[in-house]
């Protein structure tokens, strides 16, 4: 009886897309007092064959109750391939365009419906 030897290999290939969307809110102070659960929204933008937009709640939202004096920012997934994953960063810039020490966040999440980052 002859010895038989077999060998196999496989490879997982993932696609990476890098995109940037700038959501500018001039005169942010004019939104003060808009009310809890009231938001302003970016235009819908595409990244990685998916459509997204950003909601910003200047006075916060109810799902974040107990957080005094905060701004809530959510990234919404509108449409695209089921099971898509995204790694994203949300940064708050000051008037000079520098990243604020007060807020910067990033998150890796499986997209099922809407999701959030603070």
Residues with Cβ within 8 Å of residue 115, at least 6 apart in sequence? 74, 75, 76, 77, 107, 109
Which comes out higher in pLDDT, residue 107 or 101? Answer: 101
* Residue 6 CB neighbours (<10 A): 4
Give the span between the Cα atoms of 117 and 103, in whole angstroms. 11
Nearest partner of 75 among 19, 8, 5, judged by Cα: 19
Residue 2 within a domain: no
pLDDT in tens, 3-40: 888 999 999 887 788 888 888 888 888 998 898 889 99
Domain housing 28: 16-116
Q: Is the dihedral of CA 56, 61, 64, 70 positive or negative?
A: positive
pLDDT in tens, 73-93: 888 888 888 777 777 888 777
Report the CATH number that the domain containing residue 28 is assigned in CATH: 2.60.210.10
pLDDT at 44 > cutoff 60: yes
Number of structural domains (the chain) is 1
């Amino acid at each position: 009886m002859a010895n038989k030897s077999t060998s196999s290999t496989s490879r997982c290939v993932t696609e990476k897309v890098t995109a940037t969307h700038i959501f500018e809110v001039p005169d942010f102070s004019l939104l003060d007092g808009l009310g809890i659960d009231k938001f302003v929204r970016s235009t819908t933008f595409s990244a990685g064959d998916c459509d997204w937009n950003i909601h910003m709640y200047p006075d916060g939202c109810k799902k974040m109750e107990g957080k005094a004096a905060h701004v809530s920012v959510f990234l919404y997934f509108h449409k695209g391939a089921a099971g898509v994953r995204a790694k994203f960063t949300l940064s708050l810039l000051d008037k000079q365009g520098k990243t604020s020490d007060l807020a910067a966040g990033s998150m890796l999440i499986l997209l099922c419906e809407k999701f959030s980052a603070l």
